[in-house]
A = this chain, B = another copy of it.
């Protein structure tokens, strides 16, 4: 029955992610954004007019989660949904001017948060941390049904 939360990767990962989310939330709240909305905007700033399914695939969240996030973003005037050319089931998610105007400030806020979090790490340590986290993510995504 030896289980120390401090030595549990899952526990520490959860703690770290909560602190990241909290820091980002605080920084982008003045822009009227929440963390999940920022992630959606990151994709749309790169390529506008994606479908909900595209966003689900790129951000690796469940479709229902994305549906709810998009509903809040539409409510807040960050996106509009337009008809899809070839598929009447799907809709293209399009940025509003308001959302486009937030890009620079929001990205600055996120970079700020990352910088604060990683301040005590050398460049080599940062690279190593990223590589290890990607490896762990890869292992868990591969072992989906296990």
Contact = CB atoms under 8 A, between A and B. Distances in A.
Chain A interface mostly:
helix
A42 B126 CA distance: 31
Interface stretch (A10-18, A49-57, A75-83, A87-95): A10-18
B9 A146 contact: no
Interface residues of A, number: 57
A8 B110 contact: yes
Interface string A1-24: 101011111111111111111011
Contacts of A45: 1
Nearest to A45: B1
Interface string A112-146: 01101111110001101110111111111101001
